[in-house]
Structure 1
């Protein structure tokens, strides 16, 4: 480690992977690269928009302090998946 810190030696790829796992960081972080934010898919964007709309609904009883508990989040995710499957099936019938 001392040789790496003093730039006398660079770790090989396998050592980088082990260090990344040990410290729970990406290998990009270890080599000083900035992580780029990946563009979100249309599905991710739609899901996030739906969650934000639900947070803004004043009539929803499951909301507590502007946060959704883990169980409710799982149920919402499953409902969205079921809705997507339904829409896909309906489009195939057309």
Structure 2
């Protein structure tokens, strides 16, 4: 399941540079997560780094509109970072 940045976002700029998949970018008013690129940091870290660095609790949550299994997230990671080796 991809993550979602809620309206609680204060645009502190902490999350965007921490995303190893470059899935976070500035939207119209707050940062947004591209669900096609978000793997919840599977393949990189145990916990999503955006959630770790966000200073506002419960601002970055699982996106119910983009439900994916851990295996699907892992496959997405492999396609983004190791497609040349498959």
Q: TM range, normalised to the smaller chain?
A: under 0.3
Higher share of residues assigned strand:
2
User: TM-score, structure 1 length as denominator?
Assistant: 0.24
For the pair shown, the structure with the greater C-alpha radius of gyration is: 1
TM-score w.r.t. structure 2 length? 0.25
| Greater length-normalized contact order (CA 8 Å, ≥ 6 residues apart) | 2
